[in-house]
Structure 1
Amino acid sequence: MKKIVVALTFLLTGLAAWAQPARIPVNDLNTNTNTKPNNTTPKTENNNNTTTGSGELKKYSDPNGRFTIGYPTDWTFDNTSQGAIVKITSPSEGSSDQYKQSLNLQIEELKSAMTIEEYVKVNVDAVKDLMKGYKEVSSMYFNRNGARAYQIVYKGKYGDMAFDIQVKQLFIVASSKAYILTYISKEGERDAFETTANKIFNSFKL
């Protein structure tokens, strides 16, 4: 269980940088840097990437065969981060944009059998302890591509943040692995990328 909490702490710790005034948007939850341009070419050895038409998503296939996911070509794609299997970051909305919306995927090898309900409880309980003013917006269990899944949306504040964030997470437990797909945005502000983020979520398949 410790590893799960550590993973969540990593996810939320990086968000503290968003609470500080910034000259440039932050797009890296691990290093808090903004050095990758929007057209960064991802490391995609043997992944059979294919590009679709305008407005559609480019497909990324995990080289280990665990999943596929789509992403827009104008978003920054990174599969070299130490903190996440995949990170997908929105483009800047202008010079006044102090952060970029971020979507990332984490995968955990489960050492013992866990149900999706058990895994979700550990994760959500950890989030409640980490976030101030935690409030659940929506949640549901459902079947997704032959696996039991759970999706939750919640909001709150982490650390010394000056504003609340809204987090959407998809949990899937399958083949002794737990998958957590997360999208983070600023709560209460119109999210111009929410529709695109939903398309990315829907494209994710095991």
Structure 2
Amino acid sequence: MKKIVVALSFLLTGLAAWAQPARIPVNDLNTNSNTKPNNTTPKTENNNTTTTSSGELKKYSDPNGRFSIGYPSDWTFDNSSEGAVVKITSPSEGSNDQFKQNLNLQIEELKSTMTIEEYVKINVDGVKEMMKGYKEVSSMFFNRNGSRAYQIVYKGKYGDITYDIQIKQLFIVANSKGYVLTYISKEGERDAFETTANKIFNSFKL
């Protein structure tokens, strides 16, 4: 199988760039669906065609009509990254904050016959091969807004990082596309943003 990327990107305070994303096999199509069309205009805070405010979260609507997602105004929103369709990063908790929690969204073109079960298995098997000390915390299939979905929480070490990270992922297969929404936090550390991250997950709609 040719490998397509689903990034487990995470930001470490003091580094100039995002760490190298995890390489996880998704399907056998040799495409990179995370690359945006050339006519897509990156979002800015004043671009009202893609962003509106609603309650506690701002709403971002994908200009290609694939999804919408909410995010707090004090989190950093990026839809111009090479590694993900969107990245949403938590604000700093102070000068001693060595890790910023973050979310990213990946969208992959799939074969029309691929099921959510197949898509999840390929991804999770890839994660198990890559992460040191992989441990599943919870997982479940469920129906979400008319689509069959899968949610998993797991933890382990990635790359050269010496501490465990905890990852929550939502998988959805719809319209021959695979959607993976990922939240990354530092395992064992008080997560002041977990409730907000759950709100962002709940706001995600196709």
TM-score (normalised: structure 2): 0.83
**Equivalent position of 1:64 in the other structure:** 64
**1:41-190 residue pairs with structure 2 within 5 A?**
41-42=44-45, 44=47, 46-47=49-50, 49-53=51-55, 56-190=56-190
- Letter of the 1:157 counterpart: K
Call closer, same or farther: CA 1:29–1:61 in 2, change over 3 Å. Answer: farther
- Letter of the 1:181 counterpart: L
1:99: how far off? 2.0
Runs of 4+ in 1 over 4 A off after TM superposition: 42-45
Secondary structure of the residue that 1:50 maps to in structure 2?
A: strand
**1:8-47 residue pairs with structure 2 within 5 A?**
8=6, 11-12=7-8, 14-15=9-10, 18=12, 24=14, 28-29=18-19, 41-42=44-45, 44=47, 46-47=49-50
Secondary structure of the residue that 1:3 maps to in structure 2?
A: coil
Secondary structure of the residue that 1:2 maps to in structure 2?
A: coil
- Letter of the 2:78 counterpart: D
Secondary structure of the residue that 2:3 maps to in structure 1?
A: helix
Q: How many residues align?
A: 185
**Equivalent position of 1:37 in the other structure:** none
TM-score (normalised: structure 1): 0.83
1:187: how far off? 0.3
Name the CA distance, whole Å, in 2 between partners of 1:168 and 1:88. Answer: 14
Higher helix share: 1
* RMSD of Structure 2 on Structure 1 (CA): 2.2
CA deviations 1:50-102 (Å, max 9, x no partner) are: 1134xx10000000000010000000000000110010000000001112111
Aligned-pair identity (%)? 74
CA deviations 1:140-165 (Å, max 9, x no partner) are: 00000100000000000012211000
Correspondence 1:201 to 2:204 = no
Cα pair 1:25 1:99 within 8 Å, conserved:
no
Call closer, same or farther: CA 1:87–1:101 in 2, change over 3 Å. Answer: same
Unmatched 5+ residue regions in structure 2? 22-42
Name the CA distance, whole Å, in 1 between partners of 2:89 and 2:77. Answer: 7
Name the CA distance, whole Å, in 2 between partners of 1:66 and 1:178. Answer: 11
Call closer, same or farther: CA 1:170–1:27 in 2, change over 3 Å. Answer: farther
